[in-house]
Amino acid sequence: MENIKSSASNLAVDAAPNGDVISGAGSHLTSGLGHLVRANEIDVSHGPILYLEDVNVSFDGFKALKSLSLSIDVGELRCVIGPNGAGKTTMMDVITGKTRAQSGKVFLGQTMDLRRMDEPTIARAGIGRKFQKPTVFEQHPVWENLELAMKSDKRWFAALRAKLDAAAQARIEEVLSTIRLEDSAYRLAGELSHGQKQRLEIGMLLMQQPQLLLLDEPAAGITDDETMELARLLNSLRGRCSMMVVEHDMDFVAALSGEKGKVTVMAEGSVLAEGTLDQVKRDERVIESYLGR
């Protein structure tokens, strides 16, 4: 386990092979001495952007999460795998504020206690989430879905006065071309196919410009070609934000994590193993509980 730990601490640097480091990934290495707490800013000066320690959640006596501890470094793309009922989605619910943890620590950066924040505040703090089932606003055209997701002042008064200026339109156009839905820009999102909805939801996440992206089985129900394209898209986001991907499709995981990327295996509400994909694939306990012999 020692060599895994050390490789993980370098991941923030390794993770940006194409060099487009934007959101301060790795800047903690040069940030120097201490600083004051800055409000509304994720403090990643010690490395991790997300930090869970000893988190417990139970529903009517069923322990969905059992002293789960996990940390994700800034700039990292972490894949989480595990059998059904391992608590992967519950973990995402806890991080995004949908479910309250009974005990433990859930921190975004060094300073933001996610257990004290509600869903919209957590989202505004910089966590974007893609749900298992694509959830887009079906009665809204595609461009309006993207507009709604756009990073902006989300208070009602600002929304009443908001104008769709050239910069915002350029941003929407850019994302539309990234997710290849230009031809459907004015169609209602409800008329899109399943794969197109998945792409639209990814696009909405891009509009949010999150610092940390949580993706819950993004490859579910799309074709193999689309899956590989999605992997390419997510890989291209490396360096722009940290990501946590829950997935069953091992090819997809392999495409995302590469040889050095860290993979976490969850089972029965806690972390079973952590390491590169090869390492966890060889782990006896993982083979027993998840991969099968």
Partner 1 sequence: MSTPISSTSGNSLPQGAPAGPPATQPGTPSTFKLGLPSRPALLSPAAWGGMIGVIIIVAILVPISALWVPQDSIFHLSTYSITLAGKLMCYAIAALALDLVWGYCGILSLGHGLFFALGGYAIGMYLMRQIGHDGSYGSDLPDFMVFLNWHTMPWYWTGTQHLLYALVLMIVVPAVIAWVFGFFTFRSRVKGVYLSIITQALTYAAMLLFFRNETGFGGNNGFTDFKRIASLPIAADSTRVGLFVLTFAVLVVSFLVLRLIVTSRLGRVVTAIRDGESRLMFLGYSPLGYKLFVWTVSAILCGIAGALYVPQVGIINPSEMSPGNSIEMAIWVAVGGRGTLIGPIVGALAVNGAKSIFTNYFPEYWLFFLGAIFVVVPLLLPKGIVGLLARKRHGGA
**Contact with partner 1 (CB under 8 A): which of 20, 119, 191, 288?**
119
195: number of Cβ within 10 Å: 17
Token digits of residue 220: 């579910």
Using CA atoms, how far apart are residues 183 and 166, in angstroms rounded to an integer? Answer: 20
Which amino acid type is present at position 96? T
**Contact with partner 1 (CB under 8 A): which of 38, 46, 100, 154?**
154
Q: Which stretch binds partner 1 (CB under 8 A): 68-76, 134-142, 237-245, 247-255?
A: 134-142
Per-residue contact track with partner 1, 39 to 78, x per CB under 8 A?
----------------------------------------
Cα-Cα-Cα-Cα dihedral sign, residues 79, 254, 225, 13: positive
Give the list of residues 6+ apart from residue 292 with CB closer than 8 angstroms, or none. Answer: none
Q: Which stretch binds partner 1 (CB under 8 A): 31-39, 147-155, 240-248, 257-265?
A: 147-155
Using CB under 8 A, which residues numbered 80 to 99 contact partner 1?
96, 98
Of the pair 60, 183, the CB lying nearest partner 1 is at 183
- Strands lying side by side in the sheet with 270-276: 127-130, 212-216, 242-246, 77-81, 262-267, 270-276
Q: Does 161 bind partner 1 (CB under 8 A)?
A: yes
Asked if 121 and 114 count as a contact pair (C-beta separation under 8 A), the reply is no
How many Cα atoms occupy the beta-carbon half-sphere of 126 within 13 Å? 20
Asked if 241 and 23 count as a contact pair (C-beta separation under 8 A), the reply is yes
Per-residue contact track with partner 1, 214 to 243, x per CB under 8 A?
------------------------------
Q: Which stretch binds partner 1 (CB under 8 A): 18-26, 79-87, 115-123, 228-236?
A: 115-123
Under the rule (CB under 8 A), what is the footprint of partner 1? 96, 98, 118-121, 123-124, 128-129, 131, 135, 137-141, 143-144, 147-149, 154-157, 159-165, 169, 172-173, 176-177, 180, 182-183, 185-186, 204, 208
